[in-house]
């Protein structure tokens, strides 16, 4: 499919119908949306962000992590995917990585 010749509305329609879903496709700039649509597989960060708290709790139970019922969704995500979540934050990712290396 030639995404470069499609209008933004058409690109959003394709992104909406895509499986797995692209999170927040409706606010992504046109160039980035085309880049995502051209990918065979979405980046792990997109898949992780789409998970519900119930899915995260099931994963935590499978890994036998304690006290998961008291954690918020963001805390569960950090617990289950610590390095992947740091990579999403461009400004603090380097700082967090440096702090971990000092330990």
Mean model confidence pLDDT for the chain: 81
Q: Say what the pLDDT of residue 84 is.
A: 53
Same domain, 37 and 78: no
Predicted confidence band of residue 27 (pLDDT cuts 50, 70, 90): very high
Q: Which of 31-35, 39-43, 58-62, 98-102 is predicted least confidently?
A: 98-102
Tokens of 78: 């950090």
The pTM for the full model equals: 0.58
Query: What is the residue whose two structure tokens read 């967090």?
Result: 96
Q: Which of 46, 44, 41, 51 is nearest to 28 (CA)?
A: 46
CB atoms within 10 A of CB 54: 9
Question: pLDDT tens across 36-66, in order?
Answer: 999 988 888 888 888 899 999 999 999 999 8
pLDDT of residue 30: 93
Domain that holds residue 37: 3-41
**Token code pair at residue 68:** 């998961």
Is 54 in the same domain as 97? Answer: yes
Do 36 and 60 lie in one domain? The reply is: no
- Same-domain pairing of 76 and 93: yes
> CA-CA distances (angstroms) from residue 45 to 1, 14, 16, 25, 74?
25, 20, 18, 14, 13
* 83 shares a domain with 56: yes
**32 and 66 share a domain?**
no
Residue length of the chain: 103
Give pLDDT, residue 82.
86
pLDDT at residue 97 greater than cutoff 70 = no
Contact call for residues 84 and 44 (beta carbons, < 8 A): yes
């Amino acid at each position: 499919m030639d995404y470069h010749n499609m209008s933004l509305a058409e690109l959003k329609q394709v992104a909406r119908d895509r499986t797995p879903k692209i999170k927040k496709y409706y606010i992504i700039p046109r160039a980035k949306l085309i880049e995502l649509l051209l990918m065979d597989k979405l980046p792990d960060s997109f898949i992780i962000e789409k998970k519900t708290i119930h899915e995260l709790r099931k994963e935590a139970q499978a890994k036998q992590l304690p006290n998961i019922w008291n954690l918020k969704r963001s805390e569960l995500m950090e617990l289950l995917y610590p390095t992947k979540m740091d990579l999403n934050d461009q400004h603090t990712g380097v700082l967090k990585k440096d702090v971990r290396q000092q330990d």
